[in-house]
Amino acid sequence: MAEIKTLAVVGSGQMGSGIAQLGAMYGLDVWLVDTDSDALLRATNSISSSIQRFVSKSHLSQAAGSDALRRIKCTANLEDLHSADVIIEAIVESENVKKKLFSELDKIAKASAILASNTSSISITRLASATSRPRQVIGMHFMNPPPIMKLVEIVRGADTSEETFSATKALAERFGKIVICSQDYSGFIVNRILMPMINEAFFTLYTGVATKEDIDTGMKLGTNHPMGPLELADFIGLDVCLSIMRVLHVGLGDNKYAPCPLLVQYVDAGRLGRKRGIGVYDYRKVSEPVKPSPRL
């Protein structure tokens, strides 16, 4: 495949903004697309602060940081992606919405372009079936947050070509990532293992076995996880966790993957985790300054 010069990222939420940042930091011209203009504004601010942190820790020079910011162009118009060499989709975790997008991208993107999905669990083969180029469709699953986390899980659909796989692997390695490769079965490697653990943590809370704090402390100190499973669920987004559990449940056909009713209820209530200020934990609380007790 020809050299990759232009990257497009569709969806400018927590994952899309981080992937766009990586592309720009590693010298690519980047289009960042979202249907929500507020999301694009939030993404620009978060990319700018993240790059500033890299600069302040001397991981990036000020000039390289400014250059990276200049390389990112935001748009709401998919037509702008006609010149992109690789398009990475990072929109909502819904098969129907993603398929519709892949079908639109297939019509807009140049013939040689690779269409990648950052999906956490949805079948790459089925996303590819919405396009006329299944050989050029692949899963490129970054971890959260993309500029920091070392892993990229690459998922080959039933028809993904060797050339597409090699180009995608080379791109991930250019971003300084370690690549693992999964066959296209629900949840791939990481979420096949992680999400049932998170779901079980919700069942542990739901059935009153322990408090959320004790569940998280148990897993942090007892098994050396850097974050407890409930804390991690809030970080990922409870809506994302629920979507993945539903994909595992339907895709693998086993009731052991049925989402915990408490996880479903939190999502119904809009408690989506850190991004909404409340999930399992409440992040909105401003700690009250301790007032000195009056001396009478």
Residues with catalytic annotation?
Answer: 120, 141, 153, 191
**Contact letters (x/-) for ligand NAD, 201-240, by CB under 6 A?**
-----------------------------------xx--x
Specify binding-site residues for NAD(+): 11-16, 34, 93, 98, 120, 144, 275
Quote the CA–CA distance of 9 and 31 in Å, as a whole number: 6
Cis upstream peptide for 145 (omega within 30°): yes
By CB under 6 A, the count of residues binding ligand NAD is 28
* CA distances to 23, 191, 285 from 265, in Å: 37, 21, 21
* Strand order, beta sheet including 178-183: 72-75, 29-33, 6-10, 86-89, 114-117, 137-142, 151-156, 178-183
**124 contacts 139 by C-beta, under 8 angstroms:** yes
Specify binding-site residues: 11-16, 34, 50, 57, 93, 98, 120, 144, 275
Q: Is 144 in the site for ligand NAD (CB under 6 A)?
A: yes
Instruction: Tell me the window of 92-100, 159-167, 207-215, 283-291 that interacts with ligand NAD (CB under 6 A).
Output: 92-100
According to DSSP, the β-strands at 137-142 and 151-156 are antiparallel
Quote the CA–CA distance of 278 and 272 in Å, as a whole number: 7
Phi–psi pair at 287, nearest 5 degrees: -70, 130
Give the residue at shortest CB distance from ligand NAD: 13
- Select 10 or 24, whichever has its Cβ closest to ligand NAD: 10
Instruction: Tell me the window of 115-123, 164-172, 216-224, 259-267 that interacts with ligand NAD (CB under 6 A).
Output: 115-123
Binding residue for ligand NAD, selected from 5, 36, 163, 277, defined by CB under 6 A: 36
Residues that bind ligand NAD (CB under 6 A): 10-16, 33-36, 39, 90-93, 97, 101, 118-120, 141-142, 144, 236-237, 240, 275
